[in-house]
Structure 1
Amino acid sequence: MKVLVPVKRVLDYNVKARVKPDQTGVDLSNVKMSMNPFDEIAVEEAVRMQEAGTATETIAVSVGPAKAQETIRTALAMGMDRGVHITTDEDLEPLAVAKILKAVAEAEGAELVLMGKQAIDNDYGATGGMFAALMDWPIGQYANTLAPGEGTIEVKREIDGGLQTVTLKLPAVVTTDLRLNEPRYASLPNIMKAKRKPIEAKTPEDLGVDTTPRLTIVKVTEPKTREAGVIVETVAELVDKLKNEAGVI
């Protein structure tokens, strides 16, 4: 089984986001960037499948600027076989990314696409569903446990009421949730090996994909500063403040 894993370069989750002075977006200059945490989980699961003999080849694909190659190298250091870099300086919308992934998946002959359920920078969470619709593949979202079978994959997925088990016929798409696994740290020998693994570079134009944006960002602003709390002496005072000051009851 050939497994394709999209990985995205995002603002590191430990870094506080800052809005650009002109309010056109988040300021990414001189800040630490890293692989999207949900994508790390997808990479880990693909590597585990390969170690178990289920996956015959694992491919990491990233859509982004030149520095996105660093994210691919991280995936290769974790154990992925090779990478595909779709170079663009645009901040693409989920539909454009889904179209690019469709072209890559078809060219590679992927049988399973594992991807994070969402990216922590924009929180769209729509790419997996759009990609599955474009491919006309079944999708198991928010995966908690995976069990590959003969021509199928069983997905235990997280839902509001607990866990739901679905069996998907391959080829299929699975989006990963936090409880699926604990991603490994890349060892120094694997980091050195990753430098020699191949990364194929293409552009959306090479794939014949139109990435024209459909949405317009009007303005990006920081959230309102949270006010300090107050200590109340009695329950009656608490109720009074909730009713007359906060207006929540």
Structure 2
Amino acid sequence: MGIHIAVCVKRTPSSTTVAIGGDGKVQTAGLPHGINPFDEYAVEEAIRITEKLPGSKVTILSAGAAESEEVVKAALALGADEGVLLTDPAFDGSDTIATSRILAAAVEKLADVKLVLFGKQTNDGESGHMTALVGARMKRPSVVAVRKITAIDETSITVERMTEDGADTLKLALPAVVGVTKEINEPRLPSLKGKMKAKKAVVAKWSASDLALDPSSVGTAGSRTAVVTMEPVPARGSGLRIEGDSPEEQAKNLVAKLKEAKFI
């Protein structure tokens, strides 16, 4: 019988080097973009589930401008079955709360989704909010920081969740929302056949009206937060090497340095 899996992906800058403009905002114009690296693991895990549960299918969802169609097609090239781009000028400026409203509405429109997968976080905002927000909005059980799916069938999923002390094993009834970490798998590369399929694929496009969303509930109007300004991380200063012929002498010299700096 299988299950329907929705994987939410985002188009983000591929470069780790970004500049902060005079307006205090990240300047992404001209930078290469691609699928958020964390989302690649969610796509891979969804495909692996379909290989274990015959009859399953994977639908990719991405909220963004027209350019985000490229990351939907990138996921299709890896083996996902269908893709939907959630795009509307009304969505511009959405924070995580407004974006969760868009994604939840899209999952509801798909109607038969048993499992929603997210990457742990995005490499631009790094909030890690989306799994919990969509789960809460849809009133579905959710879990983040999942490093392994140990069992899954049409009614439940068992996962290992990373914690500060190690890991927990949790069993959730389906439908559920799960956020995965990079430890969960090793993403595959797209095959030539997959690339050809993705190139020909027609990606559906859903607007706010398609999702029955009031424009005032999404975008800047529907957001509870706003990034006012951003600053680059200050360069780290040079370290101080504590000399000494023995551990005892090094400890003595360290204490002297701390007293000199008035830390003790």
Instruction: Give the equivalent residue in structure 2 for 1:16.
Output: 17
- The equivalent position to 2:134 in structure 1, one of 131, 135, 138, is 131
Instruction: Give the equivalent residue in structure 2 for 1:228.
Output: 238
Aligned amino acid, residue 131 of structure 1: V
8 Å contact kept, 1:152–1:168: yes
Instruction: Give the equivalent residue in structure 1 for 2:8.
Output: 6
For 1:83-122, what aligned pairs fall within 5 Å after superposition? 83-88=83-88, 90-109=92-111, 110-122=113-125
Instruction: Give the equivalent residue in structure 1 for 2:211.
Output: 207
Counterparts of 1:53 and 1:197, CA distance in 2 = 24
Aligned amino acid, residue 166 of structure 2: G
TM-score by length of 2: 0.87
8 Å contact kept, 2:87–2:207: yes
8 Å contact kept, 1:46–1:55: no
Alpha-carbon RMSD across the aligned residues, in angstroms, is 1.8
Deviation at 1:237, TM superposition (A): 3.9
Instruction: Give the equivalent residue in structure 2 for 1:70.
Output: 70
Cα separation, partners in 2 of 1:22 and 1:77, compared to 1, 3 Å: same
Counterparts of 2:146 and 2:55, CA distance in 1 = 18
Deviation at 1:101, TM superposition (A): 1.4
Instruction: Give the equivalent residue in structure 1 for 2:177.
Output: 173
Cα separation, partners in 2 of 1:73 and 1:248, compared to 1, 3 Å: farther
Deviation at 1:22, TM superposition (A): 1.9
Instruction: Give the equivalent residue in structure 2 for 1:141.
Output: 144
Counterparts of 1:199 and 1:105, CA distance in 2 = 16
Counterparts of 1:150 and 1:189, CA distance in 2 = 29
8 Å contact kept, 1:49–1:55: no
Counterparts of 2:258 and 2:85, CA distance in 1 = 53
Instruction: Give the equivalent residue in structure 2 for 1:79.
Output: 79
Alignment coverage as a number of residue pairs: 246
Cα separation, partners in 2 of 1:174 and 1:185, compared to 1, 3 Å: same
Cα separation, partners in 2 of 1:49 and 1:219, compared to 1, 3 Å: same
Aligned amino acid, residue 136 of structure 1: K
**Structure 1 residues 85-94 or 97-106, which shifts more?**
85-94
Runs (5+) with no aligned partner, structure 2: 245-249
The share of aligned pairs that are identical, in percent, is: 33
SS of the residue 2:210 aligns to:
helix
Deviation at 1:82, TM superposition (A): 1.0
Cα separation, partners in 2 of 1:243 and 1:46, compared to 1, 3 Å: farther
Deviation at 1:40, TM superposition (A): 0.6
SS of the residue 1:111 aligns to:
strand
Counterparts of 1:111 and 1:185, CA distance in 2 = 26
**Structure 1 residues 79-88 or 216-225, which shifts more?**
216-225
Deviation at 1:108, TM superposition (A): 0.6
Counterparts of 1:100 and 1:29, CA distance in 2 = 25
- The equivalent position to 2:227 in structure 1, one of 217, 224, 244, is 217
Aligned amino acid, residue 122 of structure 2: A
SS of the residue 2:107 aligns to:
helix
SS of the residue 2:21 aligns to:
coil
Cα separation, partners in 2 of 1:176 and 1:248, compared to 1, 3 Å: farther
Instruction: Give the equivalent residue in structure 2 for 1:240.
Output: 256
Counterparts of 2:194 and 2:212, CA distance in 1 = 34
Instruction: Give the equivalent residue in structure 1 for 2:41.
Output: 41
Counterparts of 1:102 and 1:248, CA distance in 2 = 51
Cα separation, partners in 2 of 1:226 and 1:80, compared to 1, 3 Å: same
Runs (5+) with no aligned partner, structure 1: none
Counterparts of 2:132 and 2:55, CA distance in 1 = 23
**Structure 1 residues 202-211 or 232-241, which shifts more?**
232-241
Cα separation, partners in 2 of 1:238 and 1:169, compared to 1, 3 Å: same
